[in-house]
Structure 1
Amino acid sequence: MSGDYYHIFLDEGGNLDFSLKGTKYFTLTAVTRVRTFDADNELNRLRFDFLEKGRDIEYFHAAEDKQAVRNEVFAIINKYIHNIQIDSLIVEKRKTGPALRADTRFYPEILGFLLKYVLNGLKPKPVIILTDALPLHRKKKTIRRVIQKHLNRILPNGIPYTTFHHSSKSCYGLQIADYCNWAIFRRWESGDERSYKLIRSAINSEFDIFQTGKIYYY
């Protein structure tokens, strides 16, 4: 991937209800891009096309958008699929031991694993990581600390990195990550591969972290 910076956009799918009432899977997905962000211009044009037709679309969100909207968004993502790298970590929640479910461990450890897959094989260059805005300051501090720990270990000395928490409404990169993660989550949660097939060629890694696990905790 050419460009002066890696821009890594993070999104998650499923919930953290570790019971039969919760989702079967939790997914954490990173979409890595370099400028120029050609897809963003087309997504902006698409949004205004919808507005001119009377469709009140403030931003794109796969789980809430109607299928006709998703079709258009995925068409744009697919058009520029060669400009992104997708990495996703899959967690079958029933195999997650009680100790790992704690807020202070689950997300930080999953994120740490994912970052290793994201940066493996990429040439060293500065990194900008963006996540959706987080409501809890404590969670922001935890995520920043985890990112710092793993990037310090993975990146060569002197390679700078920065983490930002922005509303996905303000960032087409986060909206693209949302769509890619939604497609992957749908594949694992319900076996629906319709949208997954549109992004599959850009998937660098899709790792089921507990694939060899034998114990189900609920």
Structure 2
Amino acid sequence: MVCAEFLLLTVMAYDRYVAICNPLRYTVIMNKVVCSQLSTGALMFSFMEPIPHTVMISALSFCGSHRINHFFCDITALMKISCTSTRSIEMLIYAIGAVVGMFSLIPILISYIYIISAILKIQSVEGRSKAFSTCASHLSVVILFYGSLIVMYLRPPSMYSLSQNKIFALLYCAVVPLFNPLIYSLKNKELRDTLLNARRKCAKQ
């Protein structure tokens, strides 16, 4: 699921890049066939990505209690209860994670460099605001998703705890997907007006 989110965020960053930097060619570049191919490719790769470490984990031995301190069968929590060495699996997971993460993050950063450059060239304030609102929702989701993963997996060992991991895992597995529809829907003016009116009514009460 995390891998799928990585790749779909990358596809969406490219979509925003085309929308802002090549608006007149958007419907030609991002046609239905291209969108289907990009989303299908991302999902297919995300299904294949966990196969190597899933096979390696299936060969582990588990002694004593089989109860893990987590909301779901997270791979890090699962390795904690193994009575055999997990070093090779950890190295594989970090290697694959680094490759997938950089493969996703670098295109996103490049896309936003071009997007920001294009926005700064727009003369009118209204035009800049409209262009920025096109990618603001996607950028918010990228920051939330990557932020929670960085805090979870790139902390110093001294700050590591399964209890904190449960909270961060809940954040990127449940909270971020839960807020996705709301974040992307805020681009809709009617929804923004409805929320603003509701806030005003609550303030008057």
**TM band (smaller chain):** under 0.3
More helix by share: 2
With normalisation by structure 1, the TM-score equals: 0.24
Which structure carries more strand by proportion? 1
| Structure with greater contact order relative to length (CA < 8 Å, sep ≥ 6) | 1
Higher gyration radius (CA) = 2
